[in-house]
Amino acid sequence: MSKKKAMTGAEAAATAMKQINPDVVAAYPITPQTPVVMKFSEFVNDGEVDTEMIRVESEHSAMSACVGASAAGARAMTATASAGLALMWEVVGVASGSRLPIVMNVVNRALSAPINIHCDHSDSMGARDLSWIQLYSEDAQEAYENTILAVKLAEHPEVQLPAMVSQDGFITSHGVQNVTVYSTDKIKKFLGERKPIKALLDVDDPVTMGPLQLQDYYFETKKQQDNAMEKARQVYIDTGKELSKITGNDYGFVEAYNLDSAEYVIVTISSTAGTVKSVIDKMDNPKIGLLKIRMFRPFPYEEVARLLEDKKAVAILDRSESFGADAPIYGEVKNALYNAKSHPKLQSYIFGLGGRDIYEKDIENVFESLLKEDIEDKKRYIGVRE
Amino acid sequence: MSESQKKGYKEIPIGGMITKAGSSAEFKTGDWKSFTPVWEKEKCIHCMICPAYCPEDCIPKKDGKRLETDFDMCKGCGICAEVCPVKCIEMKEQGDSDE
């Protein structure tokens, strides 16, 4: 039985964690992730979960504790943001390199300096090459469902990779929305218990995890990681179909909104996708549409190419920079189209860094420029002052 | 180990995992050394201090006597020479020769 409840994105993520009931959660508070762990620690305190909650002294330790727990065979989770993700960086790579299916909520926040607590995607986008699956959530509902899906996807025997589930700091994490919470029994049945391939605490089958590998074997281990990422595509689709039986929702690599009839398209991720949908509804022009990227790692090149190749012009809106290079989403969309049968014109936009608001008017202006095919071969910045 | 003996990515456990206990004995670390312990057998009093200190446990013992260092394993750390009370071990620079 499902229930509608008003809650923030942070509480939605914590509610997913409650239903997942992980064996271990190790976390350190950082704005705007704090309410995820705060709410979850209430569940621990109230005995609503059996989780061993480890209150560590830093994010580096949080991820280290998760690595230890996951290697031991436990289902381990954490959450972080911004500087916290930056501080745990070394161990983030240890988790994926050791093939430990840890799931981490990332409440996206700008990176220092200048110090800033508000939303952009520099934190998780910076971690895009660390061999973690990355799912981006448009709203609280998606943050909730993606967290549940990520656990099953990460733990799949053919995948065995950690996963990040992102939601926009403050915009989603602190904004109250209606969230449909599904039956805990059904979620528990969907997930089952973690069945690790090997576990450190299995004394009948002793193994060593995390040993040294030099020129002779390191390269092979990295190749395995890429193979696992490739396999994660199909496992994501299959797992999504299974979760769909409970939720009734679709879990594609991308979400297409008004895309069939559209000739002019905006590509973006997370909460801004919601703003774009609203603008599309108001502008009421069949020629405009949205392609929302839900899964950024592995990146859905084929689907993006198939959905965009016959369009006239596409604007890609990135909420993070790649200084001196193409912005993350723009770069991937451009890559995706290289082998396509035809190419739409592409325009890169950077927006919303450090939590700068993006208004419907801004999105409307992007569509107006697209409709005029006003495109240039350089980044544009929405709302930056000269 | 020659190139042809090394396993491919499809054959090895994931994540660099080692699925066998005691496998470090198969990892010959002798070619790491740049200094080699040269043992003056006649001067040795077989006090057994060096085998006790050897971090690689690569100085074999038999019937109350120490034997020649196992150069397949010796990393050339020089601790044996340092702790020897009669100074019968000298560390000699020999590149990565494993004798």
Read out DSSP for B77-97? --HHHHH-TT--EEEEE-TT-
How many Å apart are CA A304 and CA A105, to the nearest integer? 25
pLDDT at A38 over 60: yes
Is A198 within 8 Å of chain B by CB? yes
Q: Which of A99, A205, A211 sits opposite B14 (nearest CB)?
A: A99
Q: Which of A206, A217, A223 sits opposite B16 (nearest CB)?
A: A217
* Residue reference for tokens 């997942």: A20
Q: Does residue A116 sit in helix, strand or coil?
A: coil
Burial of B78 (0-12, 13-18, 19+ CB in 10 A): middle
- Inspect the interface and report whether the beta carbons of B9 and A220 lie closer than 8 Å: yes
Condensed to tens digits (0 to 9), the pLDDT of residues A104-130 reads: 999 999 999 999 999 999 999 999 999
Is B31 within 8 Å of chain A by CB? no
How many Å apart are CA A179 and CA A149, to the nearest integer? 16
Q: Does residue A7 sit in helix, strand or coil?
A: strand
Q: Which of B7, B17, B21 sits opposite A198 (nearest CB)?
A: B17
Condensed to tens digits (0 to 9), the pLDDT of residues A128-138 reads: 999 999 999 99
Alpha-carbon distance A346 to nearest alpha carbon in chain B (angstroms): 39
Q: Are the C-beta atoms of A267 and A314 separated by less than 8 Å? A: yes
Fold of A254-381: Rossmann fold (3.40.50)
Tally Cβ neighbours within 10 Å of residue A293: 24
Chain B interface test: which of A159, A207, A212, A227 (most B C-beta within 10 Å): A207
- How would CATH label the architecture of A3-247? 3-Layer(aba) Sandwich (3.40)
- Inspect the interface and report whether the beta carbons of A99 and B18 lie closer than 8 Å: no
Chain A interface test: which of B5, B7, B14, B32 (most A C-beta within 10 Å): B14
Is B16 within 8 Å of chain A by CB? yes
Terminal-to-terminal C-alpha distance of chain A? 54
Condensed to tens digits (0 to 9), the pLDDT of residues A294-349 reads: 999 999 999 999 999 999 999 999 999 999 999 999 999 999 999 899 999 999 99
pLDDT at A380: 98
Which ipTM was obtained for this model? 0.89
- Classify residue A285 as left (phi > 0), alpha (psi -120 to 50) or beta: beta
Alpha-carbon distance B31 to nearest alpha carbon in chain A (angstroms): 14
Alpha-carbon distance B4 to nearest alpha carbon in chain A (angstroms): 12
- Inspect the interface and report whether the beta carbons of A209 and B6 lie closer than 8 Å: no
Q: Which domains does chain B have, with CATH numbers?
A: 30-94 (3.30.70.20)
Mean pLDDT score, A17-33: 98
DSSP state of B16: G
Is B25 within 8 Å of chain A by CB? no
Beta pairing class for A24-27 and A52-55: parallel
pLDDT at B2: 67
- Inspect the interface and report whether the beta carbons of B17 and A216 lie closer than 8 Å: no
Same fold, A3-247 and A254-381: yes
What are the domain boundaries of chain A? 3-247, 254-381
